[in-house]
């Protein structure tokens, strides 16, 4: 089983970016943590981060036939990107949307996710653990 962990804009700055909201772990710390879980679960994971919407769309398109599932934190594009939503719908790869912060307790514009309706579910508000929960959720979904 091969899972793509997709990360949107500004997540490359985790660790120093608004740590009160997003924690002190860097994206590399999160990747290391997720890799230990993936090893235990016997699944392959690839991490990808981009600040550019079109690159994320390209990555989703090229995931077809290469990945069984996607765990995606679209970051700010969650609230704006019809293109990312359409890409997920186009490739039909089961996808779990995740967020470090609980987007439903924040500004009104963050409460709306354009991308979540293309996903099998959303995990939001558990910090770096959202990545772990997202990985477990997609593995469980794909096994059934």
* Binding region for ligand DQA (CB under 6 A): 10, 73, 75-76, 78, 99-101, 103, 110
* Min CB(56)–ligand DQA separation in Å: 13
Whether 51 and 9 have beta carbons less than 8 Å apart is answered as yes
In the set 33, 99, 104, 131, the catalytic residue is 99
What is residue 1's DSSP assignment? -
Burial classification of residue 98, based on how many CB atoms lie within 10 Å of its CB (0-12 exposed, 13-18 middle, 19 or more buried)? buried
- Collapse the DSSP code of 42 into the 3-class scheme (helix H, G, I; strand E, B; otherwise coil) and give the result: coil
Nearer to ligand DQA, 75 or 118 (CB): 75
Nearer to ligand DQA, 102 or 142 (CB): 102
Q: Is 22 a catalytic residue?
A: yes
* Min CB(99)–ligand DQA separation in Å: 4
Q: In what order do the strands lie in the sheet with 121-124?
A: 44-49, 2-7, 69-73, 95-99, 121-124
* Min CB(68)–ligand DQA separation in Å: 23
Nearer to ligand DQA, 67 or 73 (CB): 73
Q: Is 77 a catalytic residue?
A: no
CA distances to 17, 67, 139 from 96, rounded to whole Å, are 24, 13, 10
Positions marked catalytic: 22, 99
């Amino acid at each position: 089983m091969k899972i793509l962990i997709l990360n949107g804009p500004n997540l490359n700055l985790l660790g120093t970016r608004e740590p009160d909201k997003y924690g002190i772990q860097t994206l590399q710390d999160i990747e290391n943590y997720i890799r230990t879980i993936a090893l235990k679960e016997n699944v392959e994971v690839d991490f990808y981060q981009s600040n550019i919407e079109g690159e994320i769309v390209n990555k989703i398109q090229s995931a077809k036939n290469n990945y069984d599932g996607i765990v995606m934190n679209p970051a700010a594009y969650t609230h704006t990107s019809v293109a990312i939503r359409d890409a997920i719908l186009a490739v039909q790869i089961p996808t779990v949307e995740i967020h470090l912060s609980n987007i439903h307790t924040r500004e009104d514009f963050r409460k709306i996710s354009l991308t979540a309706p293309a996903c099998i579910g959303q995990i939001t508000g558990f910090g770096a653990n959202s990545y772990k929960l997202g990985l477990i959720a997609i593995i469980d979904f794909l096994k059934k």
